[in-house]
Amino acid sequence: MGRAAGQFLKSSVQPLPGAFNIASLVPFLVAAAFATLDHLYAASMIAMGSLSLMFLVAGIKLQGATSDASKSKTVREMLGMHMQMGQIAQWDVEHEEADFRKNPREMERMPSEIAHQWETRVEGFLKRLPDYSLIARFNNDAGLTPSAPPQDMEVSPYIDSWRRIDQRLQRLDELIREFR
């Protein structure tokens, strides 16, 4: 699992601009350390908890921002953190599916629950912004190109959740570009 965590870090984590550059990597490094111990769920929860603390700091920063440029930058950074959380959720779905294939059992967590928890967090943040159309646009699949899940994914509920997260990540990327 340590190798998979390293590959995830290398391919998926892109530092955020500004003050969150180094801080944004901390949860992923902690998650990678736990992933080497085969505690993927705990690792993702630690990473999400760490990112939640950074959201709190960024939220305070957003409230204190006076210029539109400063607010846009903070919103962009916070959306970027949500994007990283979405990548963690997608990674969770992928690795839980692999575990399920190796040892078929009752699903500990439904894959749709992983996607829904992340989407709810993003929507909660978007609700605090003055443009209420952001939530509807975040949930709209129109114009998105569905990505193929990893070739080794075979279990339908996991594939559906992986795709759902992927499409929300695509839309979130578009929303981030609007705040430049």
Tens-place pLDDT, residues 72-101: 888 899 999 999 999 999 999 999 998 888
Angle of helix 2-12 versus helix 68-102 axis, rounded to 10: 150
Report d(CA 85, CA 79) in Å as an integer.
Answer: 10
From first to last of its 180 residues, the chain has per-residue pLDDT tens of 444 444 444 444 443 344 444 444 445 545 555 554 445 555 555 555 555 545 555 554 555 555 666 678 888 999 999 999 999 999 999 999 988 888 887 777 788 899 999 999 999 999 999 898 999 999 999 999 989 999 999 999 999 999 999 999 999 999 999 988
**Other residues' Cβ atoms within 10 Å of the Cβ of residue 18:** 15
Sign of the C-alpha dihedral, residues 78, 53, 164, 89? Answer: positive
The torsion angles phi and psi of 60, rounded to 5 degrees, stand at: -65, -40
Output the pTM of the full model: 0.66
Residue numbers of the domain that contains 140? 2-178
How many structural domains compose the chain? 1
- The pLDDT score that the predictor gives to residue 103 is 86
pLDDT the model gives residue 41: 53
Burial of residue 77, with CB atoms counted within 10 A of its CB: 0-12 exposed, 13-18 middle, 19 or more buried: buried
Distance in angstroms (rounded) separating the CA atoms of residues 130 and 123: 13
Q: What is the token pair recorded at 81? A: 């953190």
